Structure 1
């Protein structure tokens, strides 16, 4: 891919494509069948935690999967998957004889933006940490090649803006169809693209030679379903595909380095460009939201911002 990647064998891109569709397929399985979701994001990781990951993701291993970041990311992603399933399916009969649902509770609706913000903040801290390493000519840290530069600061700021622009979570509801998806109508395409650009830049900056998979393929695996399979459920798609990928890479840590490597070009210009684009787009979303808040006298901690837009209305019409 020219400026961004170099792969010695084009068959690696065929494997990349397989990974993309496998993530989408298992996401659909976990989304459509509650028993599959519980198995994939509850039972399987429990077994792996006890019998597999202490070996394959041991601290200091040669593939870099034993870092604090990988372990924290794994369990925060799985917590998101299970938490969103609880929002979708937990219900009870109250003293009034009526059926009540967890997603009807405002305190429960604070969980999705909280777990999302935590995941973004983890990556922001990592970008700043890579800058602090002072690897201005590039080098290996925790068995992963990276290069420090202004792009780390730029993308860290983009991530902070991405957190600030999370909005409309009190409008989350569960779809009326049989899959009972967690729908967040105020999370429309500008924010999603801003997140994708920021997250891709983060993976390019901090996990450079793995970013074709954990950045490009992983982001497409949740963005494609959001636009073409189940609109309004981006965060659910994101949590499940992230959980699937990180469980796989914790189990088969040599995959991106030995089995099907797609390394970056290690070109500083590429690092600067991807982070500059991410920062510019996130700044644009932040400015747009600020203008909408002022113009329409909205409370960003309570009100939905995009209710006047066509994508918001389409998602509500399809699911409520």
Structure 2
């Protein structure tokens, strides 16, 4: 066996580095989760302070696009940290206007996915250009000249075994001949090897489906269970079907666009978010995804000479179109299956997939609620859907909703549109009462005859 199918078999250094990168990403995300102030110290203040250095030092090497991602991620990390802090300090407002938490996180996530989809489609249409550049010695030389201070060509698999002096015209000609023989292209703007094909299109379709199936925006909250020492930003509806479909899509996209970097930026980066979300930090995938990505993008902008050019710490991709196809089809099939399940749940429950928790019946959802929600939040989570927390197995303290709990709300509602069943009375929220929100049914019945659905 000469390869790992997706990647070459690397040296021991490659595997040690993978463990270091994987552990570092989890560690920084855990630090940020446990001590929220570190977010603002590291990524807000530190991130902004280092922007001039990243712009001056990094952009001549790797261009302005990575710097743009760095700026966006500093803003995203700051926003995510703010939501956790705000939700902890202002629990009533955080529940009353939870939909805006979801909208903010959805925008960051959806824009990131859509940018990747556009990149995939671009690769498909530019494939001939990339192949032509890779087979042209002058184009390869121009790539190196545009990346000041780093060599993007020497060290690639296509540069192996060439006896001509590195950087000479004969050397560039030999590298170009190897690219042409292997059928591999290179992006003249980035210097990244790539091969385009129909797999780019089906990966982009998978990405669009992944955006469509983001659910439960109106029910994001901060850990309220007093038994949990560490508070988290809990997106309970982000359960394993969506996370796995996202991971397969993101891996396929990056294997199409940044194949030589996927050993770290997908295998390590995605697992560093998924493993915590499925074990000790259930319901918090969005948190780990945000801060692992923040860490990785920051390092690439601040240490481009170490992480960007071909080197001994990279595990190069095999550039086998079969690998691209397998990754793309896995992404496509998983996201189609997720989309079908999403439609099934909407049809059978009648829930609004953006506002309501769509997957409340799942075992993982129940575990998240039992681990991170107190009695108030268990009734709040279910006040817009038919089942009660008792029926869903959330084990609330009482079988009646608390009079001093939270009221699920949409800012554009003119009346109480929660599901007609026992629920925390509208009168428990003084702000909503001051707005003269019209209750549905009898408010008296909701407070005095709590066991009767109305």
- On whether the aligned pair clears a TM of 0.5, the verdict is yes
CA distance in 1, matches of 2:320, 2:123: 16
**Contact preservation (8 Å) 1:103, 1:109:** no
Deviation at 1:303, TM superposition (A): 2.0
Candidates 18, 21, 26, aligned match of 1:19: 21
Q: Does 1:152 align with 2:200?
A: yes
Q: How does 1:1-320 map to 2 (within 5 A)?
A: 1-58=3-60, 61=61, 65-68=62-65, 70-90=66-86, 100-102=92-94, 104-105=96-97, 106-135=99-128, 137-141=183-187, 142-176=190-224, 177-253=228-304, 254-256=306-308, 257-320=310-373
CA distance in 2, matches of 1:53, 1:259: 26
CA distance in 2, matches of 1:20, 1:117: 25
Q: Which runs of 5+ in 1 are unaligned?
A: none
CA distance in 2, matches of 1:149, 1:67: 26
**Contact preservation (8 Å) 2:102, 2:218:** yes
CA distance in 2, matches of 1:88, 1:41: 15
Residues 92 and 16 (structure 1 numbering): CA distance in 2 closer, same or farther, change over 3 Å?
closer
How many residues of Structure 1 are paired with residues of Structure 2 in the alignment? 310
**Contact preservation (8 Å) 1:225, 1:231:** yes
Deviation at 1:163, TM superposition (A): 0.2
Which structure is larger by alpha-carbon Rg, 1 or 2?
Answer: 2
Q: Which runs of 5+ in 2 are unaligned?
A: 132-182, 374-454
CA distance in 1, matches of 2:112, 2:303: 22
CA distance in 2, matches of 1:8, 1:78: 33
Tell me which protein shows more helix as a share of its residues.
1
Residues 2 and 315 (structure 1 numbering): CA distance in 2 closer, same or farther, change over 3 Å?
same
Deviation at 1:225, TM superposition (A): 1.0
Residues 204 and 103 (structure 1 numbering): CA distance in 2 closer, same or farther, change over 3 Å?
farther
1:169-221 deviation per Cα after TM superposition (whole angstroms, max 9, x unaligned): 11100012453311000000010000000001111100010111111110011
**Contact preservation (8 Å) 2:127, 2:185:** no
TM-score, normalised to structure 1, is 0.91
- SS of the equivalent of 1:183 reads strand
